[in-house]
Structure 1
Amino acid sequence: VIVDIEHPLLYAIYLYEKVLHKRYNFKTIPPYINKFTRTRHLRKVDVVHLNSLNIRLAREAKELGKPVVAVLHAAPFPKEVYDNINDYVDVYVVPSNFTKYSEEAKIGSKKIVVIHHGVDMKLFNPNIPREEARRKLGIPYNVKVILWNDRISPEKDLECFIKAMEHVLREMKEAYVYIKGRAVVKNYYDKVKEPLKKLKETTKVKIHIGWIPHSKVPLLYRAADVFVRTSKHENFGLGAIEAMACGTPVVAPNATTFPEIIGDATTLYRPGDPLDLAEKTITLLTDRNLYDSVKKYQLTRVQKCFNIQHIAQMYLELYSSLIK
């Protein structure tokens, strides 16, 4: 199997190089190599896997008779993009049924397979003691931690979270808000700077802007009592299943992929409604029986549906079906 890395998602690199390599040999192709070198690589492989809609690589693979799998990580795409690459792709893979329904009319008759993203249960699990995670992150022990961890960009709707947390902090003395974000859209970050500054005036808010090592991300989820996603658009939502795998209940909008991921609607709030988000969060944190029930349900769901070993097996079966 040959994998293009023009769009080198961390998840894809992990899945293909750390899991699937046990049964397949993987070769990654950087986008800057010349056509002669690309062709030499392509002649030696059985399947070409695209993490981006790399028309050039898809066309060259098809000219050599190689089956092509294209994963739509960054959908939606305009219909014209699919029109240009459809002839060279055998199968499109999408990470959710939501993405499939949004793209299938534009793709046409091409085969679309849903393979969810997966989570490494050896890295993301409930085994790290909460007290240890909080000590390492400098978070107090005797508080209820509400975590937001995402890119700071318009579609992630950090403004909704900020407004909701203003209400939560007024209503719950033990509430503590931890925001970890990556400022990827400067204009939007400039827009939320002032609300963030105002929210941080209380000692019950901690804000970390920037990257942290991937190995430390489980500490964030284990330190939190609740993880909140506020995305307006999401093809999957990897952070949600990472939190669920760590035994941290997830509150998310009742839209896009979240009903598909989370399953039960108990912790789904009305999209764009800060008050409903606040009320769902407060109810979860103040009702111990409900909290334990949601935690158990979500943890069981992620272990059953999103374990990366299971996801890897689905890719193996897809590759095998394409190799003649």
Structure 2
Amino acid sequence: MHIGIDVHMCRLTQTGLYSYIWNVLQGLQNLEHPHRITLFLYGQPGMEEPESLRRMIDTFSKAEVQYVWDDLPLKSFSSRYGSSASQAPRWVKQVDRKVLFPMWKKMQMPDSRLTLYASRLARRLYQASTSLEIDVFHHPAGLVFPVSDKANVMTLSDLIPRLFPYYCPGSDEWFKESFDKADQMDIILTYSEHTKQDVAKTLEIDEERIRVIPLAAHHQYRPLDNQEQVQAVLMKHGLGERPYIIYVGSVEARKNVSRLVEAYHLLRQEEPSLEHQLVLVGTKLWLHESIFEVIRNLDLESHVKWLGYVPFEDLPALLNGAELFAFPSLYEGFGLPPLEAMSCGTPVICSRASSLPEVVGDAGLMFDPYRVKDIAEAMHRTLTDSQLRLSLREKGLKRSHMFSWDKTARATLAAYEEAWTRFQSRERQGQTRRDSKPERPKIYKHAHGWVVEQLIRQSYNGTDK
């Protein structure tokens, strides 16, 4: 069986989706199986890729890489002068920069392209799939590539764009086609039973085609005995002088960080002797402005510290150094940060919303995320009761061992094999999917725009010498 996996989104993020694809690939590489794996990237062969994607590709030596590009290649006049564009005469570079590159970029704009090219990506993918004999195509992040005419597997991490569009404006347009075509998948993967039920109910998908495959914490998340190492990371981020409560995740409205800040303020009022800071780790996303407005209005600027994006390798030390991990999210497809905290032995208090009880179980103190007082009480109980903290630490470590990427990879491989079996059954019954005029997915516009900008940037850099 030949498996194709779309890894385009790994260019754009190093958060949960990147971790999911990376760890599944790592698990597949470690398993003994007869299957061949090809990673699909939309773009022009030879283009420069982000360091994170290059690292991923280099790590998985058993996987092949297939580029799919449905437009004219960007080839400068300068490239004809030796192996480096920098060797070209200055006037040639100027022609490239002032005429060729702007003209090529303009030709890529959707409104300026001929109808003839409307389905080239779909046809090119089918041609590549046919020549490579792709049996199962995995869409882990929406339909960047069209639905294959053989077996298809799609991962739906959550239905946030459909269920909570006001928390992520515009994202439903991105994923509408993926949601609408979910019924064309042979197998759909979700991270939790809660998301499975959302998919079955909201998208009207038969549950027998949905497989729940939980995620796991990276092996770097563990208790750290080297306190000097922990302190070095804390000092790097301006921490260490005061004990702290930590939140890890994007800073956005859906994560309910505003109520966490309000609960922290209430905690300080009710227990003035507590010296704890509240530390927020994560990038700003949709509707984050109101969170920082709450911090200002409550006069907490010196007590709430936002670290922004933190390097992946620093996160275990930050979690180990915290007295408490708080996660107040209103909706999660899984909820990896609480699992990472439990893996470090950090006591966890957590929202009881959506899938989070499946992850945390009885290893964390759960609260109603809509009640500020409930959140404050959970913080107060944990910070003032050393026996409770010890109990949560022990339970968290034990529960974290229930999840592993090896299990995730094995279950994912089983889903690929099941999807292929389903396709073969349909083929025997004459029900195979044969679309002579496949349409290019609408999310393609975003993927195409990213590639165009990357190629232009790469070409300008090549002639800027």
Indicate if the aligned counterparts of 1:144 and 1:285 stay in contact, CA closer than 8 A: no
Residue matched to 1:93: 189
* CA shift in 2, pair 1:217/1:117, >3 Å: same
Q: Which amino acid aligns with 1:236?
A: F
Unaligned runs of 5+ in 1: none
For residue 29 of structure 2, the aligned residue among 11, 17, 21 is: 21
Distance in 1 (alpha carbons) for counterparts of 2:291 and 2:180: 38
- Match for 1:160 among 259, 267, 288? 259
Q: How does 1:21-60 map to 2 (within 5 A)?
A: 21-23=29-31, 25-32=36-43, 33-34=69-70, 35=121, 37-43=124-130, 44=132, 45-54=134-143, 56-58=145-147
Farther off after superposition, 127-136 or 253-262: 127-136
Is the 2:143–2:177 Cα contact (8 Å) retained in structure 1?
no
- The letter of the residue matching 1:195 is V
Q: Render the CA deviation track for 1:81-130: whole Å, top value 9, x for unaligned.
A: 57742453101111111111112022332611101112222x11113545
Distance 1:13 1:265 in 2: 27
| C-alpha contact 1:82 1:107 (8 A) present in aligned 2 | no
The match for 1:11 among 9, 19, 23 is 19
Corresponding residue SS for 2:249: strand
Match of 1:255 among 346, 350, 353: 353
Q: Which residue of the partner structure matches residue 73 of structure 1?
A: 157
| Alignment-derived partner of residue 340 in structure 2 | 242
Q: Which AA in structure 2 matches 1:240?
A: P
Task: Report the equivalent of 1:149.
Answer: 248
Stretch of structure 1 that moved more, 212-221 or 243-252: 212-221
Q: Secondary structure at the match of 1:183?
A: coil
Instruction: Tell me the secondary structure at the aligned position of residue 142 of structure 2.
Output: coil
Change in 2 beyond 3 A, CA 1:28/1:286? same
Q: Is the 8 A contact 1:244 1:299 kept in 2?
A: yes
Whether the aligned pair in 2 keeps the contact of 1:71 and 1:94 (CA below 8 Å) is yes
Q: CA deviation at 1:152?
A: 1.8
8 Å Cα contact 1:221-1:248 kept in structure 2: yes
Aligned partners of 1:178, 1:293: CA distance in 2, in Å?
23
2: CA distance, partners of 1:76 / 1:177 = 27
Distance 1:265 1:118 in 2: 16
Pick from 4, 9, 30: which aligns with 1:2? 4
What pairs up with 1:179-218 in 2 under 5 angstroms?
179-185=280-286, 188-197=287-296, 201=300, 203-209=302-308, 211-218=309-316
Q: Which runs of 5+ in 2 are unaligned?
A: 11-16, 44-68, 71-120, 164-175, 422-465
Post-superposition offset of 1:232: 1.1
User: 1:315: Cα distance to partner?
Assistant: 1.2
1:317 corresponding residue in structure 2: 414
Larger Rg: 2
AA of the residue aligned to 2:156: L
Deviation for aligned residue 1:4: 1.3
| Match of residue 324 from structure 2 | 226
How far off its partner does 1:13 sit? 2.8
| Alpha-carbon offset, residue 267 of structure 1 | 0.5
Please tell me the root mean square deviation across aligned C-alpha atoms, in Å.
2.6
CA contact (8 A) 1:148 1:180 kept: yes
8 Å CA contact 2:277–2:303 kept in 1: the answer is: yes
TM-fit CA distance, 1:135: 3.2
Shift in Å at residue 296 of structure 1?
Answer: 0.9
Tell me which moved more, 262-271 or 96-105.
Answer: 262-271
Aligned residues: 314
Amino acid at match of 1:46: D
Q: Percent identity?
A: 22
> 2: distance between equivalents of 1:11 and 1:117?
10
Structure 2 CA distance, aligned partners of 1:181 and 1:232?
Answer: 17
Contact 1:180–1:207 (8 Å) recurs in 2: yes
Higher RCO (C-alpha under 8 Å, 6+ residues apart):
2
What's the counterpart of residue 301 of structure 1?
Answer: 399
Note the alpha carbon deviations across 1:249-283, whole angstroms, 9 max, x for none.
22111211111111117510112112111111121
